[in-house]
């Protein structure tokens, strides 16, 4: 057994690197175990949308808190993190969905988040390439976008400046204060953070985390084609469904002028190959909202795996049985947004600090209770 670490983080995605930095800033001696590229998993595959979501009060609290932490960090982020406060427009396709726009605005305002209702005409002014027939939308100006792999690398570099060590190996077993790696080495620490995303159940069997495959496609550079992150109001329905394959309109302007087009969700799709059928469905969905897409040049398509939980909330906190294991996983599509809050809440728990927001909704213990009910 080797290493004098106060905490070992498994996984150098956006969540793991945020945890490493938070631990290091709290004065802990930290090791990060990552066998692959920094930010190479879901962090590389995802969009990098820093978004407040209101699917549940707990989701709203976590996303809002984390967005605030990103905003505070933003001035220090390097240029290649491509942080930009683009705002989000939740697009309403029809008058029915406008009711949802007003409901959503009321919720956001209640939580002190600026949100402006756009009618059909002002939606077109804000985004000229949207179809004229759309009913309107809700503009949330404080949402942002960034480039996740470089953001993760920045967080890790900051942690390394505070003494964090990065070990290029693969953790194969964790528990009882010990991390066993693929090279046969063993590392000891009173705190082991499982931040392995979609792979986290491989290290902590029994975790209620399922892989949820997603597709994205990116265009060549068309600066100004879209100006805000554009998401259909039905998105939460797509994200929230826990059975069928689903697609939703979700498009992002990159700082490079490229347009990132999503999104799809599939359970039980374990292979990383592009699934042409769902890719087409996803692109057709985008066509229902945006005009002029047909002639854009698509440079690449790819897939990734989200770590989803049954109640759409992450697992942040100690494992119920093995108290040396802390979980920071199950973020599904919100890992980039909630990474900083996840890290803060986790370290609060490790050190017995008070948290800025209640941490109970994210404790892994809730899942154990649920499974008892079932």
Partner 1 sequence: MADRPLDFNILIVGGGPAGMAAASAAAGAGTVGIVDDNPNLGGQIWRGQSFAVEQKNAAAAMYRRVQQAGVTHLPRLRVLDAPRPGILLAESEAGSYELRYRKLVLATGARERFLPFPGWTLRNVMGAGGLQAMVKSGLPIPGKRVVVAGSGPLLLAVAAYLYEQGAQVVSICEQSPFARLAKFSFGLLGDPRRLAQGVGYRMQLRRTPYRAGWWPIAARGTRYIESVVLSDGHRTQEVPCDYLACGFHLVPNIELPALLGCELLHGFVRVDEQQQTSVSGIYCAGEPTGIGGLEQAILEGEIAGLVCSGRTEALRPLLQKKKKFGKFADRLARAFALRPELRGLANAETILCRCEDVSFGDVRKHSSWRAAKLHTRCGMGPCQGRICGAATEFLFGWNADSVRPPIFPMRFGTMVGRGCTQENKLQER
| Site residues, partner 1 (CB under 8 A) | 37-40, 44, 80, 149-150, 153, 217, 219-220, 256, 274, 276, 279-280, 283-284, 287, 293-302
Instruction: Compute the distance between CA of residue 266 and CA of residue 143 in angstroms, rounded to an integer.
Output: 26
Which one, 151 or 359, has the nearer CB to partner 1? Answer: 151
Instruction: Compute the distance between CA of residue 234 and CA of residue 133 in angstroms, rounded to an integer.
Output: 17
Convert 156-173 to b/e letters by CB count within 10 Å (16 or more is b).
bebbbebebebbebebee
The residue whose two tokens read 């550079």 is: 221
Which one, 15 or 62, has the nearer CB to partner 1? Answer: 15
Least distance to partner 1, CB of residue 184, Å: 22
Q: What letter does residue 162 receive in the DSSP assignment?
A: T
Rg of the chain over all Cα atoms, to the nearest angstrom: 20
Contact 218, 314 (CB under 8 A): no
Which one, 271 or 372, has the nearer CB to partner 1? Answer: 271
How far does the chain reach from its first CA to its final CA, in angstroms?
A: 40
136: left (phi over 0), alpha (psi -120 to 50) or beta: left
Cβ atoms within 10 Å, residue 132? 10
Contact 304, 41 (CB under 8 A): yes
Least distance to partner 1, CB of residue 124, Å: 21
Which one, 1 or 37, has the nearer CB to partner 1? Answer: 37
Which one, 134 or 293, has the nearer CB to partner 1? Answer: 293
The residue whose two tokens read 């985390």 is: 209
What strand order describes the sheet that includes 186-188? 171-175, 178-181, 186-188
Least distance to partner 1, CB of residue 312, Å: 27
Least distance to partner 1, CB of residue 219, Å: 7
Which one, 288 or 371, has the nearer CB to partner 1? Answer: 288
Least distance to partner 1, CB of residue 14, Å: 12
Least distance to partner 1, CB of residue 97, Å: 24
Which one, 176 or 284, has the nearer CB to partner 1? Answer: 284
Least distance to partner 1, CB of residue 286, Å: 8
Instruction: Compute the distance between CA of residue 188 and CA of residue 206 in angstroms, rounded to an integer.
Output: 23
Which one, 121 or 300, has the nearer CB to partner 1? Answer: 300
On the question of a cis peptide bond just before residue 22, with omega within 30 degrees of 0, the verdict is no
Which one, 76 or 256, has the nearer CB to partner 1? Answer: 256
Least distance to partner 1, CB of residue 23, Å: 23
Least distance to partner 1, CB of residue 215, Å: 11
What strand order describes the sheet that includes 210-221? 116-119, 136-140, 88-92, 229-232, 246-253, 258-267, 210-221
Instruction: Compute the distance between CA of residue 285 and CA of residue 238 in angstroms, rounded to an integer.
Output: 12
Burial (0-12, 13-18, 19+ Cβ within 10 Å), 355: middle
């Amino acid at each position: 057994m080797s290493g004098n670490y106060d905490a070992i983080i498994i996984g150098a995605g956006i969540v793991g690197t945020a945890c490493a930095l938070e631990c290091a800033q709290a004065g802990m001696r930290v090791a990060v175990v990552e066998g692959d590229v920094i930010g190479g998993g879901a962090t590389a595959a995802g969009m990098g949308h820093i978004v407040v979501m209101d699917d549940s009060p707990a989701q709203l609290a976590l996303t809002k808190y984390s967005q605030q932490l990103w905003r505070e960090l933003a001035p220090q982020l390097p240029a290649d993190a491509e942080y930009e406060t683009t705002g989000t427009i939740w697009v309403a396709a029809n008058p029915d969905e406008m009711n949802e726009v007003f409901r959503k605005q009321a919720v956001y305002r209640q939580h002190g988040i600026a949100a402006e209702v756009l009618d059909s005409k002002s939606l077109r002014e804000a985004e000229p390439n949207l179809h004229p027939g759309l009913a309107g939308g809700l503009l949330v100006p404080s949402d942002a976008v960034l480039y996740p792999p470089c953001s993760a690398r920045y967080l890790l570099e900051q942690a390394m400046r505070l003494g964090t060590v990065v070990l290029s190996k693969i953790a194969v077993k964790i528990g009882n204060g010990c991390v066993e790696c693929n090279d046969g080495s063993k590392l000891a620490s009173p705190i082991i953070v499982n931040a392995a995303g979609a792979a986290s159940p491989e290290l902590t069997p029994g975790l209620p985390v399922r892989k949820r495959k997603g597709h994205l496609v990116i265009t060549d550079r068309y600066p100004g084609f879209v100006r805000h992150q554009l998401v259909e109001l039905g998105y939460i329905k797509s994200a929230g469904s826990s059975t069928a394959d689903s697609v939703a309109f979700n498009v992002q302007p990159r700082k490079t002028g490229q347009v990132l087009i999503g999104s799809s969700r599939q359970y039980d799709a374990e292979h990383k190959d592009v699934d042409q059928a769902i890719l087409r469905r996803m692109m057709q969905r985008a066509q229902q909202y945006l005009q002029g897409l047909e002639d854009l040049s698509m440079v690449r398509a790819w897939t990734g795996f989200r770590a989803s939980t049954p109640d759409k909330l992450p697992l942040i906190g100690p494992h119920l049985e093995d108290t040396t294991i802390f979980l920071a996983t199950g973020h599904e599509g919100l890992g980039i947004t909630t990474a900083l809050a996840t890290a803060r809440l986790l370290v609060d728990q490790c050190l017995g600090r008070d948290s800025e927001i209640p941490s109970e909704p994210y404790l892994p213990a809730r899942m154990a209770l649920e499974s008892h009910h079932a």
